[in-house]
Amino acid sequence: MTTTLERARPAAPAPGPRGGGVPPGRVLFWGAAVVVPLVFLGVFFAWPVAAIVGRGFVTDGALDLGGFADVLGRPRTWRIVGQTLTQATLGTLGSVLLGVPAAYLLHRCTFPGRAAVRAFVTVPFVLPTVVVGVAFRSLLVEGGLLGGLGLGLDGTMTAIVLALVFFNTAVVVRTVGGLWERLDPRAEQAARSLGASPWRAFRTVTLPALAPAIASAASLTFLFCATAFGTVLVLGGRQFGTVETEIWVQTTQFLDLRAAAVLSVVQLVVVVAALALAGRARARTERALHLTEPVDAAHPVRLRDPFDMVAVVVTAVTVAGLIALPLVNLVVRSLRTPDGWGLGNYARLAEPADVLRVTPWEAAVTSLRVALDATVIAVLVGGLVALVVSRRPRAAAGRRAVAGLDALFMLPLGVSAVTVGFGFLVSMDRPLGLPLDLRTSGVLVPVAQAVVAVPLVVRTVLPVLRAIDPRLREAAATLGASPARVLRTVDLAVALRSLGLALGFAFAASLGEFGATSFLARPENPTLPVVIFRLLGRPGVDNYGTALAASVLLAALTAGIVAVCERLRSPGVGSSW
């Protein structure tokens, strides 16, 4: 049997109706798996972005590239680009350094309350970036919990980086942990039995096996840090602006579409470069991994083990100091009213404010409904992309095509959500020549959120699919399984184990999405992040208190959803983060 597996070659296609050739059903399936995501990306991403960029580069019907020399010749532009790269790099390093030990503790070890801690770690990821900025600034200003310590962090790049790490640590924890908990522990155990210290066994055995997931998480975190619109706007203002905030400033305040278009192209270049580097890193380190059930690999926390002890300390500092402190501050501030302490701010959630047509409670229901629609779309499209990109073609052209498709579907994460939302308004009046104005419907909001969530689904599911030993598929085909059965019993069985993570991240991204939604949400049907932003932008203690209470409501909804996902991943159900 071992010889057969080692020498097994891909099974010949099953005979078609006339005794040869590729079955039509297989051609249709893989064709649809490629075409459907490409059509979705082309219509709802490439077209809107091209429309808004065209507004900046086309003058009187003719191409005019003079804007490049103008915008790129400004010292302000290069200062903003440098700040974007610096903040994103530092935020990524911090997220990885804190997220990897937490991934080990929360996915490789067992202890009472682990599911609750997992859910709590994920809460910051779904908060609107504006709320994250407000929560951190309320900590650092004079009168805040940390403002009186004389740290001088308010309005500094350090504050921005801390907020970025707060926001993105969950990406590393979930992406790396989802693969780590199914990594076969026997290789590391063998190294330990041969005399290797825990650190050497981790460095020489476990870390190389985790490299694809770490590279994937780092690339995703870098893109999130580079496009943290609301957080940077609140904490850094124009002094520490990024390309994302500058696009918003040029579009909404100066109405300079040419400058915004040039900056959008600059942002695309940065994103493509990051994706290329991450892709090359994964290509050098990716390998077939032996996976096992999470329940078999996990072990109780061993405080006498220095490796476990470090993971406990780092995770405790991360959870208590970086995550819990801003959230506790948010809850405390939401309970402070002009009349003292109480639930007055929460009572106003059932009342429409002077700037709203609906109550925050109604907006929360709208957010849940829209996020559900967006998640269904994102999981369908992202699942097809992950399935296609996880293949390993023998031909060089096929490998380049797969790598190109992988990078292509990461682009929405690096393009300004403001650009996408504004592009929807410009291009969706009569899409494809149809006599239908989609801007007046509620379709565009979940679609825009799905565009943002699709890359997240791909990056979550793809490392697990790529970790499947191709000999499993070959052996199943050799034993007579049809291509459809191979997909169902091998690929789909493993993909289901990461479905909880994909669903959770997609739902989280949809609940907290603000940039594009702020352009597309209709006044009578705003989402909760839009309502929070509008309340924060209005003067008055009541509006500010209601915004804080609404932020706590959003965090509570997220924690409940993540807790449900954690319950669904119990052994026997077949899901695993």
Q: How many angstroms separate the CA atoms of 131 and 68, rounded?
A: 34
Of residues 287 and 454, the one with the higher pLDDT is 454
DSSP 349-404: GGS--TT-SS-HHHHHHHHHHHHHHHHHHHHHHHHHHHHHHT---SSHHHHHHHHH
Please name which of 539, 423, 325 lies closest in space to residue 47, comparing C-alpha atoms: 423
Cα angle for residues 229, 260, 73 (degrees, 5° grid): 110
Query: Residues 46-66: pLDDT tens digits?
Result: 888 888 777 777 777 777 777
Residue 6's pLDDT band, with cuts at 50, 70 and 90, is very low
Q: pLDDT tier at 21 (50, 70, 90 boundaries)?
A: low
Q: Which residues have C-beta within 8 Å of that of residue 336, sequence separation ≥ 6?
A: 545
User: Who wins on pLDDT, 319 or 181?
Assistant: 319
Rounded CA gap, 409 and 455, in Å? 6
Partners of residue 337 on adjacent β-strands:
340
Looking at residue 294, what is its pLDDT?
47
63-117 pLDDT, tens digit per residue, is: 777 777 788 888 888 888 889 889 999 999 999 999 999 999 998 888 888 888 8
Which distant-in-sequence residues (6+ apart) come within 8 Å of 219 by Cβ?
A: 274, 275, 277, 278, 410, 459
What's the pLDDT score for residue 4? 42
d(CA 144, CA 138): 6
**What is the amino acid identity at position 283?**
A
Q: Is the pLDDT of residue 573 over 80?
A: no
- Token output for 206: 């476990």
- Residue 99 pLDDT: 94
Length of the chain: 577
Per-residue pLDDT tens digits for 264-310: 878 777 777 776 666 665 555 444 444 454 445 677 787 777 888 88
pLDDT at 96: 95
So what's the pLDDT on residue 394? Answer: 74
Mean pLDDT score of the chain: 78
Concatenated DSSP letters of 535-567: HHTS-SHHHHHHHHHHHHHHHHHHHHHHHHHHH
- Give the class (CATH, top level) of 26-333+343-568: mainly alpha
Distance CA 130, CA 84 (A): 17
pLDDT, residue 412, reads 80
The predicted-structure confidence for 165-186, as pLDDT tens digits, reads as follows: 998 998 899 888 877 877 777 7
Tell me whether strands 299-300 and 109-110 are parallel, antiparallel or unpaired: parallel
Give tens-digit pLDDT for 364-392: 899 999 999 999 999 999 888 888 888 77
Enumerate the domain spans of the chain. Answer: 26-333+343-568
What does the alpha-carbon distance between residue 9 and residue 146 come to, in Å, rounded to a whole number? 63
**Across the chain, how many H-helices and E-strands are there?**
30, 6
Average pLDDT over residues 29-45: 87
Per DSSP, what are the bridge partners of residue 336?
Answer: 341
For the four alpha carbons of 127, 240, 516 and 378, in that order, the dihedral sign comes to: negative
Q: What percent of the chain has pLDDT over 70?
A: 83
Q: Range with the lowest mean pLDDT among 426-430, 504-508, 510-514?
A: 426-430
Amino acid making up residue 106:
L
Sign of CA dihedral 551, 333, 325, 245: positive
Please tell me what DSSP assigns to residue 349.
Answer: G
